[in-house]
């Protein structure tokens, strides 16, 4: 904690000497804080993504689905998927029972990994988004989530489930700060290596999310009126995704 506060008080890039006494011997370490942008760049594995298009250029919203299996063998993301943090890549199924390639996010990030789905017809004011997810591992977190009405990688709504916790909730992230809007407690979360179905519905200021067709959380909020959808994990979650579908509500 003391070292963190020391680095916070220094400008990004400035070298700070830290003297450590270990086993009776004195050692000098060198550390430096980095700015937020540099931190984001460190936490993104893969080619630099294209700029996120403007929401007002997306045109009329239309239904779409993403087939990750079509990318089997090359690992590349389908067109329109824009990662902000994490290592998002299409992989061969880790278990033959899946039968097709899936999307995987397996890089530990602070605090979370974000992938947005942008392009013509994909910006929704009112809509419904679904995905299947499977947490494979994680010590502090085993999560998966759906992002909706995203403005960019730091401003959006997210519904998230965590295999290591017993709650399911909807959050708003504004300027990179996450605030819980509402959650349901005492939820029996699916264990690791188990597929779960998540769905979010948003219309006007009414937001709702379901998990496996049962647990439901609903809330009223008007922070963001429209935007992109996407996917989300937190901390050391290693998570698979498949079956991403979105449709506008007219």
CA-to-CA separations, 194 to 43, 100, 132, 214, in angstroms, rounded: 27, 16, 10, 16
Q: At a CB cut-off of 8 Å and minimum separation 6, what does 223 contact?
A: 157, 172, 174
pLDDT value of residue 30: 61
In a domain, 18, yes or no: no
Average pLDDT, the chain: 86
In a domain, 218, yes or no: yes
In a domain, 138, yes or no: yes
User: What CATH number is attached to the domain comprising 153?
Assistant: 2.60.120.560
In a domain, 197, yes or no: yes
In total, how many domains does the chain have? 1
Prediction pTM value: 0.84
In a domain, 39, yes or no: no
> What CA dihedral angle connects 151, 156, 159 and 160, to 10 degrees?
110
The parent domain of residue 130 ranges over 49-248
In a domain, 43, yes or no: no
What gap in Å lies between CA 117 and CA 154, rounded to an integer? 14
Taking the CA atoms of 122, 127, 71 and 154 in sequence, report the sign of the dihedral they define. positive
Mean pLDDT over 137-142 rounds to: 93
pLDDT tens figures, 75-110: 689 989 999 999 999 988 766 666 688 999 999 998
In a domain, 11, yes or no: no
For the chain, report the end-to-end CA distance as a whole number of angstroms.
51
CA-to-CA separations, 59 to 171, 203, 245, in angstroms, rounded: 27, 18, 18
Per the CB < 8 A criterion, the answer to whether 100 and 240 are in contact is no
In a domain, 153, yes or no: yes
pLDDT value of residue 7: 45
21-35, 70-84, 173-187, 214-228: which has the minimum mean pLDDT?
21-35
SS3 79: coil
What gap in Å lies between CA 56 and CA 92, rounded to an integer? 36
């Amino acid at each position: 904690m003391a070292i963190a506060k020391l680095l916070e008080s220094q400008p990004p890039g400035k070298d700070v000497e830290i003297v450590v006494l270990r086993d009776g011997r004195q050692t000098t370490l060198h550390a430096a804080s980095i700015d937020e942008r540099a931190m984001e760049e460190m936490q993104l594995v893969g080619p630099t993504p294209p700029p996120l298009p403007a929401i007002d250029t997306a045109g009329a919203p239309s239904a779409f689905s993403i087939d990750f299996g079509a990318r089997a063998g090359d690992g590349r993301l389908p067109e329109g998927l824009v990662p902000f943090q994490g290592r998002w890549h299409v992989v061969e199924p880790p278990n033959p029972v899946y039968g097709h390639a899936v999307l995987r996010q397996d890089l530990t990030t602070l605090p979370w990994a974000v992938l947005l789905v942008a392009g013509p017809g994909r910006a929704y004011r009112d809509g419904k988004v679904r995905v299947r997810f499977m947490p494979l591992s994680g010590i502090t977190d085993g999560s998966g989530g759906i992002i909706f009405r995203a403005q960019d990688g730091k401003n959006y709504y997210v519904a998230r489930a965590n295999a290591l916790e017993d709650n399911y909730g909807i959050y708003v992230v504004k300027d990179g700060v996450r605030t819980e809007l509402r959650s349901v407690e005492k939820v029996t979360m699916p264990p690791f290596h188990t597929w779960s179905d998540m769905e979010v519905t948003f219309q006007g200021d009414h937001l709702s999310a379901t998990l496996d067709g049962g647990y439901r959380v609903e809330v009223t909020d008007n922070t963001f009126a429209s935007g992109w959808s996407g996917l989300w994990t937190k901390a050391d979650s290693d998570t698979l995704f498949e079956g991403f579908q979105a449709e506008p509500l007219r």
